[in-house]
């Protein structure tokens, strides 16, 4: 498989990844079979989100025994620092891991920055200092927010939909 470097993380992984949104629609056992099949076929980058109902739990169930061989990315939709910490702890628990490789703000209506009054970016920095996340990312469907995130230089990755 072709490999790519994810943003400025230095993480090199297969260009193909497993997006976990659809596994919320299937049983835990079927999801586990799909996840293991993907892993056995060489997929090591798995992307999910707190908003994808039980997908984090299914990934933890299916892949926790091979955690050291995976790149895990998940997202928080929270707009408060308190919500951020709750989401992060829930994700860590459900994914059965003590760290997340790329933790992302999930499609916010603005670009979180230090000093913006939300405490969100500061929470990301603290989580990274604590070793709970390795890299800070942002996903967005709004071109202006995505461009602002890139210009800010604050983010290690940007996930943006395009064809």
Q: Which two tokens stand for residue 36?
A: 């293991």
- Using alpha carbons, list the distances in angstroms from residue 87 to 37, 90, 127: 28, 5, 12
* Catalytic residue from among 30, 52, 99, 103: 52
Question: What tokens appear for 153 in the block?
Answer: 């230089």
Question: SS3 breakdown of the chain: % helix, strand, coil, rounded to 5?
Answer: 40, 20, 35
C-alpha–C-alpha distance, residues 44 and 67, integer Å: 10
> Can 52 be counted among the known catalytic residues?
yes
For residue 35, with 0-12 CB atoms within 10 Å meaning exposed, 13-18 middle and 19 or more buried, which class applies? buried
Q: Around Cβ 141, how many Cβ atoms within 10 Å?
A: 10
Q: How far apart are CA 49 and CA 54, in angstroms?
A: 9
- Structure token pair of residue 102: 């790329």
- The whole-angstrom separation of Cα 130 and Cα 60 is 21
Query: Where in the sequence numbering do the catalytic residues fall?
Result: 52
């Amino acid at each position: 498989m072709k490999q790519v470097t994810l943003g400025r993380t230095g993480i090199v992984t297969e260009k193909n990844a497993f997006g976990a949104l659809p596994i919320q629609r299937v049983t835990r056992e079927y999801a586990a079979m799909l996840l293991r099949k993907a892993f056995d076929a060489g997929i090591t980058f798995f992307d999910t989100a707190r908003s994808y109902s039980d997908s984090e739990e299914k990934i933890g169930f299916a892949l926790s025994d091979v955690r050291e061989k995976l790149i895990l990315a998940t997202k928080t939709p929270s707009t408060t620092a308190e919500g951020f910490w709750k989401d992060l702890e829930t994700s860590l628990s459900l994914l059965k891991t003590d760290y997340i490789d790329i933790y992302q703000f999930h499609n916010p209506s603005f670009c979180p920055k230090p000093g913006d009054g939300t405490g969100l970016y500061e929470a990301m920095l603290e989580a990274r200092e604590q070793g709970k996340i390795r890299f800070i990312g942002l996903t967005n469907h709004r071109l202006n927010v995505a461009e602002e995130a890139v210009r800010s230089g604050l983010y290690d990755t940007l996930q943006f939909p395009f064809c």
